[in-house]
Chains A and B, each alone.
Chain A
Amino acid sequence: MKISGQTSRPGRIAVSALPDPTASTMRLSVFDTFRDGRGLDALLVLLTLVYLIVFGLAPILYTVLMSLQQVDMFTLGDFSRPFVGFANYVDVLTRPEAGMVARHTLVFVALSVACQLVLGFALALFFQQDFPGAGIMRGLFLAAWIMPGLVVGGIWRWMLAGDNGVVNSLLAVTHLHPTKIFWMSDPATSLYAVTIANIWLGIPFNMLLLSVGLAAIPKDLYEAAQLDGAGPVERFRSITLPMMRATLGALVSLSVIFTLQQFDLFAGMTQGGPSNSSNVAQFWSWQLSFQTYDIAGGSTIAVLMIAVVIGVATLYVRSTRHEQIG
């Protein structure tokens, strides 16, 4: 669009002594909309939005499409694939392992998120206290966060090895559990082995966000409660928890999403085994797609996962309503 010469920029009118008769109806030029008007907001949001639509939404939509088609590794690039309706959904949901995988996913997510939250909260409260080295130690905790999942999976697989793993050795030395636990090959423990590693991985993020939330609670609230005779437990219940509501909501939602994305640990530790005892939706989806080349089945599980996460995201958006804008 071209800005015509007559539509002089508003700044220039200032020089003119005569009031411009058109001035009152004059609109911002296109250029100025982006500098000063709502156009700026639109532009900034669109930058992200368009990118995410192209590189985020399009793949998801393609996944949905594939879940309705008959497609495998070899017909990926071929767009004239037969539609099969919901046959893939029926197929996936009637597989013998489907119920088990759904249950494991639930356990894995619930346990991971709950433990990360509780341990992260405890650590945040502990390091909130004023003692020498608290800051540095809190920083060191974060070090674990920067480790790639693949490496963490490798380390934990090595530490939890049944025959010569250091965890079994420590349990034996401390007489906590004198016999060896075959963490990853016993179906009773395999899911928990991965969960332990995942909790370890997620603690720093939880601790960090909760520390921030705690720091934002005004000290005088605690002092007032103390004067009112509230003990530490009561203060936590009546001040800390309500004041942390927004943080907790955001944190739980993000944790659920991160946990649902956890793939490296399964790949590195149990491969979902033995006999699917540690298999979860995201890994199962990958197995179908890349181990049995059944892209349609894998896509179907992915779509089902999205449906679940929509619920979680709703929760997060709700929680942000409790925030105040400074």
Chain B
Amino acid sequence: MKRYLLTAIGIGITGAYLFPLYWMYATALKDDAEIVQYPPTLVPQRPFWNVGEVFFGRHMPSYLWNSLVVAVGVTALVIVLGTGCAYVLGRARGRWVDALLFFVLMMQVLPSSLVVTPLFVGFNLAGLLGTPRLAVILAQTAKALPFYVVICRASFAGVPRDLEEAALVDGHSRLAAFFHIAVPLARNGILVAAVLVFLQSFGEYVFARSMISDDGLQTATVGLSAFLGPNTSDWHGIMTYSAIYVTPILIIFVLLQRRIVAGLTAGAIK
């Protein structure tokens, strides 16, 4: 009986926590008059839903595609660059590892809004602004890489060293043992870190905003910011756009959550 009481309390807490999410959907379904009504109606009285108008009127397919390109690019690059480093840092111990970890963390210090200026200057010199989505991928990778390394590092630390040594004795080179033993055994942690990097990058705003000038290559968050400008507080539009933007991620996340939570609770992060 106590267990069901806990479930009830749990539902209450979860409901309260997710209220902002609900409010996003509720506002998306209200018309302009109902939105400004006070006291606000908790349930939309005259629900209407203009997904189509916002979706196509705001060029969302193109924006979402670009966001996807950026997010996939960043995730791939981060995995390629960061997995090995996370492995080494998870295995080794000592002063230089501390120093490295410190350095890696330091690279995450500044908000994107502050690093974007020097990066812009550098990318301009390197001619990277001609391929703006690549420029955003490179910049965002630098931002996500430290986070990925820190998260993945712990899951590699959780793979018993013996297993790799057994693989060495069995005939693997260290490189092969890394790929065939360490990586598969740390895959839950890698998966989770990669998903988080993907989501972070999908929602990236500052770099895309500054480096992409062609609207056809622009990402979804920047598209959303057009609603949030000083002269356009179209709450219905903002919330509809947000809902369209968030819902697919939410569905994927709910479908994958068991796996993600399992990956994390299996000792992915320490």
Stretch of B45-53, B55-63, B112-120 on the interface side? B112-120
Residues of B within 8 A of A302 (CB): 110, 114
**Closest A residue to B109 using CB positions:** A309
| Interface pair B105/A144, CB less than 8 Å apart | no
| Interface pair B105/A316, CB less than 8 Å apart | yes
Other-chain residue from A146, A156, A285 in contact with B249 (beta carbon distance below 8 A): A146
Given A44-B84, A302-B110, A325-B93, decide whether A151 and B242 contact each other with a Cβ distance below 8 A. Answer: yes
A45 to B17, CA, bound (A): 40
A227 at the interface (CB under 8 A from B): no
**Closest A residue to B198 using CB positions:** A146
B221 at the interface (CB under 8 A from A): yes
A172 to B224, CA, bound (A): 32
Residues of A within 8 A of B104 (CB): 48, 52
Residues of A within 8 A of B124 (CB): 77
Residues of A within 8 A of B260 (CB): 139, 142
Given A52-B103, A55-B141, A257-B105, decide whether A45 and B270 contact each other with a Cβ distance below 8 A. Answer: no
B70 at the interface (CB under 8 A from A): no
B6 at the interface (CB under 8 A from A): yes
| Interface pair B10/A134, CB less than 8 Å apart | yes
A86 at the interface (CB under 8 A from B): no
A260 to B117, CA, bound (A): 18
Interface residues of B, dominant DSSP: helix
A130 to B2, CA, bound (A): 10
Residues of A within 8 A of B235 (CB): 158
| Interface pair A150/B261, CB less than 8 Å apart | no
| Interface pair B159/A326, CB less than 8 Å apart | yes
A116 to B83, CA, bound (A): 29
Residues of A within 8 A of B90 (CB): 325
Stretch of A15-23, A100-108, A218-226, A261-269 on the interface side? A261-269
Given A45-B89, A140-B254, decide whether A260 and B111 contact each other with a Cβ distance below 8 A. Answer: yes
Give residues of chain A (238-285) contacting chain B, Cβ–Cβ below 8 Å.
Answer: 246-247, 250, 253-254, 257, 260-264, 268, 282, 285
Given A126-B13, A166-B40, decide whether A286 and B267 contact each other with a Cβ distance below 8 A. Answer: no
A3 to B253, CA, bound (A): 50
| Interface pair A135/B157, CB less than 8 Å apart | no
Given A144-B20, A313-B106, decide whether A58 and B122 contact each other with a Cβ distance below 8 A. Answer: yes
| Interface pair B10/A326, CB less than 8 Å apart | no
CB distance from A134 to the nearest CB of B (A): 6
Residues of B within 8 A of A41 (CB): 88, 91-92
Residues of A within 8 A of B225 (CB): 150
| Interface pair B102/A142, CB less than 8 Å apart | no
CB distance from A45 to the nearest CB of B (A): 5
B166 at the interface (CB under 8 A from A): no
B194 at the interface (CB under 8 A from A): no
Other-chain residue from B42, B81, B205, B270 in contact with A51 (beta carbon distance below 8 A): B81
Classify chain B: how many residues form its interface, as a range. Answer: 35 or more
A40 at the interface (CB under 8 A from B): yes
Highest count of chain B CB atoms <10 Å: which of A58, A136, A212? A212
Highest count of chain A CB atoms <10 Å: which of B92, B111, B173, B175? B111
CB distance from B179 to the nearest CB of A (A): 11
Residues of B within 8 A of A260 (CB): 109, 111
| Interface pair B85/A47, CB less than 8 Å apart | yes
Highest count of chain B CB atoms <10 Å: which of A55, A145, A282, A302? A55
**Closest B residue to A302 using CB positions:** B114
**Closest B residue to A203 using CB positions:** B17
Residues of A within 8 A of B10 (CB): 126-127, 131, 133-134, 137
| B contact residues vs A (CB 8 Å cutoff) | 3-4, 6-7, 9-11, 13-14, 17-18, 20-21, 23-24, 27, 36-40, 42, 80-82, 84-85, 87-93, 98, 100-115, 117-122, 124-125, 138-139, 141-142, 145-146, 149-150, 154, 157-161, 173-176, 178, 199, 202-203, 205-206, 221, 224-225, 228, 235, 238-239, 242, 245-246, 249-250, 253-254, 257-258, 260-261, 264-265, 267-270
Among all A-B residue pairs, the 9 with the closest Cβ atoms: A44-B84, A148-B203, A139-B257, A55-B142, A48-B85, A56-B107, A62-B118, A59-B118, A131-B6
* Other A-B pairs, 10, CB within 8 Å; known A48-B81, A148-B203, A282-B111: A35-B176, A58-B122, A139-B254, A142-B257, A144-B21, A150-B221, A150-B228, A152-B20, A289-B117, A313-B106
